[in-house]
Amino acid sequence: MRNNIAECHFKRLLLALTCCWTLLLAALFLWNTRQLRKTTLELAESNARMFWQKDMLYRAWNLSHGGVYVPVTKHTPPNPHLDMPQREVMIAGRQYTLMNPGYMFRQVAELGKELTAIQGKITSLDPREPDNAPNGWETKALRAFERGEPEYLEQVQTEEGPVLRFMRPISTEPSCLPCHREIKEFGKVRGGISIVLPMEKYVLQHRQNTQKLLSAFLAIWLVGNVMTCLLASVIQKTLRQLLQSEEQQRAILETMDKVGVGLHIVDKAFHVHYVNRTTEQWFGYKAGSLCYETAHGEDAPCLLCSLEQVVDRKETVHTELRWQGRVFEVVAAPIITQDGVPAKLEVRLEVTDQKRIKEEERKTQELLKAKEAAEAATVAKSVFLANMSHEIRTPMNAIVGMSKLALETNLDPEQRNLISKVQAASESLLGIINDILDFSKIESGKIELEQTDFRLQDVLEHVTNLIQIKAEEQGLLLRVESAPDVPEILCGDPLRLGQALINLGHNAVKFTHQGRVEIRVELAGQQADGLALLRFSVTDTGIGISPEQLERIFDSFTQADSSTTRQYGGSGLGLVISQKIVNLMGGEIEVDSRPGHGSCFHFTVPFEPGREERLPAQAGEQAAEAADRMLARLAGKRLLLVEDNAFNRELATIVLTRKKLTVFHAENGQAALDFLRTEAVDAVLMDIQMPVMDGCTACREIRKQPQFQQLPIIAMTANVMAGDMEKSRAAGMNDHLGKPMDEKKLFACLIKWLAAGAQA
């Protein structure tokens, strides 16, 4: 739109320019033709004057000698008016005639008229010869001379064409006397010589010159117009570019405003030359004002101003500006304003949000690092707990095992009582250690659930067996029941489910002084994918839990009340472990309780229904008999027991020799290797953590020897984490037994690797 208007204006200007050029040239042409005409006339006049001068010279010369003899020719016949005896003379046989001045004048005048068409004539108002009488214009001229005019000039149109009439006066002088004796007085006007100059030649010349002039002017006009057009197209192009760049500039500025980019130009004297809306709104700059007055409300420039650096040193400066809680990124660059003033162009972009996001990201990173550190600490703590558990478990193995063996000997009642208490205390201690180990496994994410088919009733019976004695001791009624619609066989981890229920059951019994404890299983629903939702609840009529205590009941190492520890004992880990197990099974433990009104811990978890045929074979009477037969087959087998702890060595030896096995000892891996070089054995029971050479390394070394490829090597260790079992398997062990030593498991394992093969 703006472009069209500007182009329209430009075209009008161009038209006006062309008109002016044409008018100027026309005026110049007219002036030149006038000048040409004047020059032509002046030339003719000058020629007439020259002719007059020559005529006068010629007359003076004639009068000076009074006449000359010339040969008689067609053009120089004798003068008929001259009557004198020597008019003709013969010289060398040729006739000469005297040309007196007057006759000579006439002859020359006629020749001149004939050859040049210029007529020269002597005339007077008082002529001596009638031929010299003046005609009309000559009379007029002669009269003018008498009035004192120096010459007469006129251009007239005659029948023969245009002519120039010129006349100058002749005054009386002594040279006139030979012909005009009557002259008495000199210096008076006697007559004049008139010249008639035909102008045709000059008019023609003038016409030709005018035509040339016209052609030249037309050429100049044309060249002028072409130049104007060329110039106009260049100007138009430049103008268009200028307008486009102006348009672009405006678009850029508007866009900057729209997207919120601030822009302003300040010169060295702090005058604001330009400011866009954004900067005006943000900082209050006003075009034409002093920046520090309008923007900062100060009467002097600010100390941190970058003007000098940008304008004088021509540097581009990047800075960050903080203004009323907002953050801006600023780029200032040198610029020359439209008025040619050096100035600073400053672009400002608000980055408050980006800064905030970056700050938040930084904080998040820090939190992440802190979280990672916390997790690392948790892992370290879990590793520590696992190590501690191993270290405690090793002597505990000896205590539990030895006291059990002692109880099997002949003791008097007092001794039996004491040893029983040792065994009970050590088993309770083992429970705590197991809890710690479970907790550390859960914390470090090392616990994994088994997926096996099992009978729910078996789990409930096991739970009952474990808590019934204590419940009865406290005079509590224990009810464990499953609703009729609950599937009998489930698929999942029976050990972990039992562990969660035992923990809850133990607590219920522990914190209940009278009344009852109820463990119930109900069918809460059936999921679309075929899973049965089972609700487990453990309800008691015990001391209950206050609302404040309920808030942190599932935190690790937490007892509802610190006095509880003193009164009831416990590690504060049971609930956490139960909760984690339930979480792993896909449920959440909840508790409803009121102080003095008992508690109800319950959770709902999905279970895949199990299948009867997939259940592990039940150990019936026949199975027991078969096991006894197998055990008998172990008699005489040679076992190498690799164990660094002397008590544990002794314990295992007693247990094994009772079943008639031959036991050899090695205190570490290296000793085992040395022993195997000389002695043959049927199997190796290998501890893992040992000085000199650990069990895994020893196993790898043994397996390197071809004769020991099939030798059963069974890990027997207090390292009972899942990773430990994997490690021992990877080292080449056939099986893994945990400590404290479980006799049943030990012999089952030995039967598996020694007797079962023998049977086959």
Residues that bind ligand ADP (CB under 6 A): 503, 507-508, 511, 540, 542-543, 545, 553, 559-561, 564, 570-576, 599
Here the tokens at position 707 are 């004769």
> Please, which residue, 478 or 749, has the CB nearer to ligand ADP?
478
The per-residue DSSP string of 306-357 comes to -HHHHHTS---EEEEEEETTEEEEEEEEEEE-TTS-EEEEEEEEE-HHHHHH
Residue pair 442/577 in contact by the 8 Å Cβ criterion: yes
CB-nearest residue to ligand ADP? 570
Q: How far is the CB of 327 from ligand ADP (least distance, A)?
A: 51
> Please, which residue, 278 or 559, has the CB nearer to ligand ADP?
559
329's CB contacts (< 8 A; 6+ apart) are: 318, 319, 320, 321, 348, 349, 351
Residue pair 97/70 in contact by the 8 Å Cβ criterion: yes
CA distance 473 to 509: 10
> Please, which residue, 192 or 574, has the CB nearer to ligand ADP?
574
Residue pair 217/28 in contact by the 8 Å Cβ criterion: yes
Q: How far is the CB of 447 from ligand ADP (least distance, A)?
A: 17
Choose among 721, 714, 716: nearest CA to 753: 714
Q: How far is the CB of 469 from ligand ADP (least distance, A)?
A: 18
Q: How far is the CB of 507 from ligand ADP (least distance, A)?
A: 3
Q: How many CB atoms are closer than 10 A to CB 182?
A: 9
Residue 590's Cβ-count burial label (10 Å; 0-12, 13-18, 19+) is middle
CA distance 661 to 750: 11
> Please, which residue, 440 or 503, has the CB nearer to ligand ADP?
503
> Please, which residue, 124 or 564, has the CB nearer to ligand ADP?
564
Beginning with the edge strand found earlier in the chain, give each strand of the sheet holding 119-123 in spatial order.
119-123, 189-198, 161-171, 152-158
> Please, which residue, 509 or 683, has the CB nearer to ligand ADP?
509
Q: How far is the CB of 582 from ligand ADP (least distance, A)?
A: 13
CA distance 32 to 38: 10
Choose among 494, 488, 466, 490: nearest CA to 478: 466
Q: How many CB atoms are closer than 10 A to CB 223?
A: 10
Rounded to the nearest 10°, the torsion over CA 651, 657, 661, 667 is: 40
Residue whose tokens read 């080449």: 732
CA distance 228 to 21: 10
Q: How far is the CB of 749 from ligand ADP (least distance, A)?
A: 32
Phi and psi at residue 351, in whole multiples of 5°?
Answer: -125, 25
Q: How far is the CB of 709 from ligand ADP (least distance, A)?
A: 48
Residue pair 684/672 in contact by the 8 Å Cβ criterion: yes
Q: How many CB atoms are closer than 10 A to CB 577?
A: 23
CA distance 474 to 541: 13
3-state secondary structure 224-270: HHHHHHHHHHHHHHHHHHHHHHHHHHHHHHHHHHHHCEEEEEEECCC
> Please, which residue, 337 or 556, has the CB nearer to ligand ADP?
556
> Please, which residue, 288 or 569, has the CB nearer to ligand ADP?
569
Residue pair 474/513 in contact by the 8 Å Cβ criterion: yes
Helices of type H across 335-455: 352-407, 413-443
> Please, which residue, 100 or 593, has the CB nearer to ligand ADP?
593
Q: How far is the CB of 726 from ligand ADP (least distance, A)?
A: 30
> Please, which residue, 307 or 545, has the CB nearer to ligand ADP?
545
> Please, which residue, 9 or 513, has the CB nearer to ligand ADP?
513
Q: How far is the CB of 571 from ligand ADP (least distance, A)?
A: 5
Q: Please measure the distance between the N-terminal and C-terminal CA atoms of the chain and give it in whole angstroms.
A: 105
Phi and psi at residue 671, in whole multiples of 5°?
Answer: -60, -35
List beta partners, residue 161: 158
Choose among 280, 253, 260, 266: nearest CA to 346: 266
> Please, which residue, 540 or 735, has the CB nearer to ligand ADP?
540
CA distance 307 to 305: 6
Q: How far is the CB of 621 from ligand ADP (least distance, A)?
A: 38
Q: How far is the CB of 546 from ligand ADP (least distance, A)?
A: 10
Q: How far is the CB of 354 from ligand ADP (least distance, A)?
A: 48
CA distance 43 to 307: 76
Q: How far is the CB of 437 from ligand ADP (least distance, A)?
A: 15
CA distance 584 to 438: 13
Q: How far is the CB of 422 from ligand ADP (least distance, A)?
A: 22
> Please, which residue, 217 or 439, has the CB nearer to ligand ADP?
439
Query: Could you give the 3-state DSSP secondary structure of residue 25?
Result: helix
Which letter does DSSP use for residue 513 in this model? S
Q: How far is the CB of 560 from ligand ADP (least distance, A)?
A: 3
> Please, which residue, 397 or 512, has the CB nearer to ligand ADP?
512
Q: How far is the CB of 559 from ligand ADP (least distance, A)?
A: 3
> Please, which residue, 543 or 655, has the CB nearer to ligand ADP?
543
Residue whose tokens read 């500025």: 253
> Please, which residue, 124 or 503, has the CB nearer to ligand ADP?
503
Q: How far is the CB of 517 from ligand ADP (least distance, A)?
A: 9
Q: How far is the CB of 589 from ligand ADP (least distance, A)?
A: 11
> Please, which residue, 196 or 509, has the CB nearer to ligand ADP?
509
> Please, which residue, 103 or 536, has the CB nearer to ligand ADP?
536
CA distance 18 to 229: 9
Choose among 349, 467, 402: nearest CA to 645: 402
